[in-house]
């Protein structure tokens, strides 16, 4: 059997960064390199799998103990975040971690400090995989992919392992909110599914943010600065003023748990014209709608002050909170809890402060909670994943399958 670490390292070596500015599906053709590899690996293991024109890999392992067991699926996404480079990843492997700061050797003076990330101490004595500080790692969600494929390999090589029908799914573009836009739930064929896309060991989630993207356009007026008095409208400064109208305490760095936020993720422009891009999040639907209304109200204020048409806002829906779609099928949460406890893991049921393919899939008729993949500090150069967490996640998959087979 290929070790899960070797499998993970093979997957992170493939650049699969998605592109939020692309309208194609998948958003970047390079994602197909890994997705095609996964299809071929499944087929090589004897698992019938296909890769469709939209970038979805779907595989099936037939039941070996009757057809009265509901088909259960396991899903992970192949793309990595546009927030940091996913090319030429050079992982560091720290064996028997000693509890000290971890230097990221690709950047002088950069390290993952225990003072900043005290959760590192929970993994003392374990094997930790990090970046070298020049890229992200890609554990989100190539750890999830490796865990699913490791479980598939075990099932194939152990025909005595009892299981119902198992569905395997790999998707593109999750990081840009379009992961399952064209996913055919009927074709996939699972009654229930789990995304292996959570964070630290023990995480189990069936609540997520309601999510929207807001693009604010500011139209200024550029006049030669020597003659600008009473005439110039500097779009950058006006955009900054509009941003200052949003509540400071509702920024990501000041929120936790069920608290939502406005997050300014990028801006670009000149005196003449600027664009400010936000994501808006809240678990509570009423508060979510209030946040969307607030950013529109801020634009109205700017237009009243500087003139009609100076500020405009485009709001785009991304996903909704999946709780109401999953909770009626709470037994799938209970199975995940028991599957973790069977491995000595204390489950932590908590809301996702983000999104997952499972949110949209749940609204598409496939109840789909989210299970830990083991990683930390996703989307950035401080990303790391303990090997033992990945190994445990793969066993949790097998335990869930066994519980359904009972």
174 is catalytic: yes
Closest CA to 137 of 203, 176, 84: 84
Backbone φ and ψ for 217, nearest 5 degrees, come out as: -105, 130
Distance in angstroms (rounded) separating the CA atoms of residues 390 and 284: 32
Closest CA to 381 of 121, 87, 137: 137
DSSP E strands in 187-337: the ranges are 192-198, 203-205, 210-219, 261-269, 273-282, 311-319
Task: Please tell me whether residue 371 adopts helix, strand or coil conformation.
Answer: strand
Closest CA to 280 of 133, 177, 360: 177
The token pair that represents 263 in the structure block? 């997050």
Q: What is the DSSP letter of 59?
A: E
- Structural element, H or E, at residue 154: helix 139-157
Catalytic annotation, pick one of 174, 205, 282, 325? 174
Closest CA to 139 of 177, 178, 84: 84
Burial track 232-261 (b if 16+ CB lie within 10 A, e otherwise): bbbbbebbebbbeebeeebebeebeeebbb
| Cα-based angle 349, 355, 361 (whole degrees, multiple of 5) | 90
Task: Give the number of C-alpha atoms closer than 13 A to the C-alpha of residue 51, restricted to the C-beta side.
Answer: 20
Distance in angstroms (rounded) separating the CA atoms of residues 205 and 200: 12
Catalytic annotation, pick one of 79, 132, 147, 357? 79
Task: List residues with catalytic annotation.
Answer: 79, 174
């Amino acid at each position: 059997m290929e070790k899960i670490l070797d499998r993970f390292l093979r997957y992170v070596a493939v650049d699969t960064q998605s592109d939020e500015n692309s309208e194609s599906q998948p958003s970047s053709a390079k994602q197909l390199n890994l997705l095609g590899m996964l299809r071929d690996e499944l087929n090589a293991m004897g698992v019938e799998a296909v890769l469709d024109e939209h970038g979805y890999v779907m595989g099936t392992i037939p039941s070996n103990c009757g057809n009265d067991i509901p088909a259960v699926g396991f899903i992970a996404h192949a793309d990595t975040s546009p927030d940091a480079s996913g090319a030429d990843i050079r992982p560091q492997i720290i064996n028997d971690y000693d509890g000290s700061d971890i230097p990221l050797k690709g950047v002088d003076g950069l390290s993952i400090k225990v003072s900043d990330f005290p959760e590192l101490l929970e993994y003392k004595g374990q094997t930790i995989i990090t970046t070298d500080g020049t890229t992200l790692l890609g554990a989100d969600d190539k750890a999830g992919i490796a865990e699913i494929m490791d479980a598939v390999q075990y099932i194939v090589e152990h025909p005595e392992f009892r299981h119902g029908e198992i569905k395997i799914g790999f998707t593109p573009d999750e990081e840009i909110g379009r992961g399952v836009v064209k996913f055919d739930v009927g074709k996939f064929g699972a009654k229930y599914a789990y995304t292996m896309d959570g964070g630290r060991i023990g995480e189990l989630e069936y609540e997520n943010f309601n999510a929207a993207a807001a693009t604010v356009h500011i139209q200024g007026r550029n006049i030669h600065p020597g003659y600008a008095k009473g005439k110039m409208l500097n779009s950058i400064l006006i955009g900054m003023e509009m941003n200052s109208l949003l509540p400071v305490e509702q920024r990501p760095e000041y929120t936790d748990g069920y608290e939502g936020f406005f997050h300014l993720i990028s801006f670009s422009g000149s005196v003449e014209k600027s664009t400010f891009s936000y994501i808006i999040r809240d678990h509570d639907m009423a508060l979510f709608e209030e946040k969307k209304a607030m950013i529109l109200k801020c634009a109205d204020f700017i237009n009243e002050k500087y003139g009609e048409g100076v500020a405009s806002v485009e709001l785009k829906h991304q996903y909704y909170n999946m709780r109401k779609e999953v909770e009626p099928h709470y037994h799938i949460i209970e199975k995940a809890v028991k599957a973790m406890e069977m491995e000595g893991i204390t489950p932590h049921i908590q809301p996702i402060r983000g999104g997952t393919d499972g949110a949209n899939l749940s609204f598409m008729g496939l109840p789909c909670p989210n299970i830990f993949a083991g990683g930390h500090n996703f989307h950035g150069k401080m990303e790391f994943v303990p090997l033992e967490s990945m190994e445990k996640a793969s066993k949790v998959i097998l335990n869930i399958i066994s519980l359904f087979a009972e």
